Structure 1
Amino acid sequence: MTLAANAAAMKRLQAVRPNWRDVRFARDVLGLPEHTLLHAGPPYADPCRPSAPVLSSAILCCIYEGWAADEQTAAQLIASGRVKLVSAQSYEVVTPLAAVISSGTALVEIADGDGDAAWSLLGSGAGPQIRFGSRDPAVIERMKWRDKVLAPALAAALAAGSIDLIPLARTGLDHGDDLHARTTAASVALRDVISPRLNDPDIDAMLRQTPLFFLTLWMAACHLMMSAAARDADPSTTLVVALAGNGIDIGIRLAGRPTHWTTTVAAAPAGPRIDPSVLTPAAALTGDSGVIDAAGFGAQALMLAPEPAAAFEPWLPPDWRREQACLYAGVHPCFADLRCGLDAASVVSQNAAPLAAIAMIGADGRSGLLGRGLFAAPVDLFATAVRSLNP
Structure 2
Amino acid sequence: MTTVNETISAEADARRTKANVEALERMVGAEPVLVGVAAAGDVVPGMTPTTILTSGAPLEWPEYTGGQRRAILYGAVYEGLAGSVEDAEAKIDAGEIQVRSTQQHACIGSVAGIYTASMPVFVVRDEAHGNTAFCNFYEGKSRYRLNYGSYDQEVADGLRWLETTMAPVLAESLAGAPIPLKPMMARALRLGDELHSRNTAATLLLQRELTPRLFALATTPEWRTRVEEVMDFFLANDYTFLRLSMAAAKATADAAHGVEHSSLLTGMAINCREFAVRVSGLGDEWFRGGHPELQGRFFDGFTEADAEWIGGESCVTETVGLGGMAQACAPSLMDYQGGTFQAMLENNEAMYEITSAEHPDYKIPAFGFRGTPVGVDLHAVIATGRTPLIDGGLAGRSGGQIGAGLLRPRIEAFTAAAAAYAERYPTSPAS
Instruction: Please classify the TM superposition score into its range, dividing by the shorter chain length.
Output: over 0.9
- Paired residue type of 1:350: T
Cα distance, 1:350 vs structure 2: 1.0
Partner of 2:405: 373
Partner of 1:195: 211
Cα distance, 1:197 vs structure 2: 1.3
Partner of 2:286: 261
**Aligned residues of 2:328 and 2:344 also touching (Cα < 8 A):** no
Which residue, out of 329, 335, 348, partners 2:362? Answer: 335
- More displaced 10-residue stretch of structure 1: 273-282 or 125-134: 273-282
**Aligned residues of 1:54 and 1:133 also touching (Cα < 8 A):** yes
Cα distance, 1:249 vs structure 2: 1.2
**Aligned residues of 2:353 and 2:380 also touching (Cα < 8 A):** yes
Partner of 2:379: 345
Partner of 1:154: 170
Q: Which residues of 2 match residues 29-48 of structure 1 at below 5 A?
A: 29-30=43-44, 31-44=46-59, 46-48=60-62
Cα distance, 1:123 vs structure 2: 2.2
Partner of 1:294: 319
Cα distance, 1:48 vs structure 2: 3.0
Residue segments in structure 2 that go unaligned for 5+ positions in a row: 1-14, 219-226, 364-369, 424-431
Task: Map Cα deviations across residues 282-316 of structure 1 (whole Å, 9 max, x no partner).
Answer: 12362111110121211111111111146442796
Task: Map Cα deviations across residues 255-274 of structure 1 (whole Å, 9 max, x no partner).
Answer: 00130110123246441122
Task: Map Cα deviations across residues 166-217 of structure 1 (whole Å, 9 max, x no partner).
Answer: 1211221111111101000111000000122123111011011110111011
Task: Map Cα deviations across residues 52-111 of structure 1 (whole Å, 9 max, x no partner).
Answer: 111222122111111112222223333554322211111110010012111112110011
CA distance in 1, matches of 2:92, 2:310: 21
Partner of 2:134: 119
- Paired residue type of 1:329: S
Q: For the structure 1 residues 321 and 218, does the alpha-carbon distance in structure 2 shift closer, same or farther, using more than 3 Å as the test? A: closer
CA distance in 1, matches of 2:345, 2:241: 30
- Paired residue type of 1:352: R
Partner of 2:150: 134
Q: Tell me if 1:219 matches 2:234.
A: no
Partner of 1:382: 414
Q: For the structure 1 residues 79 and 317, does the alpha-carbon distance in structure 2 shift closer, same or farther, using more than 3 Å as the test? A: farther
Partner of 2:233: 206
Residue segments in structure 1 that go unaligned for 5+ positions in a row: none
Q: For the structure 1 residues 278 and 312, does the alpha-carbon distance in structure 2 shift closer, same or farther, using more than 3 Å as the test? A: closer
CA RMSD of aligned residues (A): 2.1
Q: For the structure 1 residues 265 and 47, does the alpha-carbon distance in structure 2 shift closer, same or farther, using more than 3 Å as the test? A: farther
**Aligned residues of 2:290 and 2:413 also touching (Cα < 8 A):** no
CA distance in 2, matches of 1:50, 1:138: 25
- Partner of 2:187: helix, strand, or coil? helix
CA distance in 1, matches of 2:322, 2:283: 21
The size of the alignment, in residue pairs, is 386
Structure richer in helix, relative to its length: 2
Cα distance, 1:132 vs structure 2: 1.4
Which residue, out of 174, 181, 185, partners 1:169? Answer: 185
CA distance in 2, matches of 1:211, 1:171: 16
Partner of 1:92: 106
- Paired residue type of 1:40: S
Partner of 1:282: 307
Cα distance, 1:331 vs structure 2: 2.0
CA distance in 1, matches of 2:300, 2:340: 17
CA distance in 2, matches of 1:9, 1:115: 15
- Partner of 1:115: helix, strand, or coil? coil
Q: For the structure 1 residues 4 and 94, does the alpha-carbon distance in structure 2 shift closer, same or farther, using more than 3 Å as the test? A: same
- Partner of 2:278: helix, strand, or coil? strand
CA distance in 1, matches of 2:50, 2:327: 40
CA distance in 2, matches of 1:285, 1:53: 5
Which residue, out of 263, 268, 277, partners 1:243? Answer: 268
Task: Map Cα deviations across residues 195-250 of structure 1 (whole Å, 9 max, x no partner).
Answer: 2212311101101111011101111111111111114x02x211111111111111
- Paired residue type of 2:113: A
Partner of 1:106: 120
Q: Which has the larger radius of gyration?
A: 2
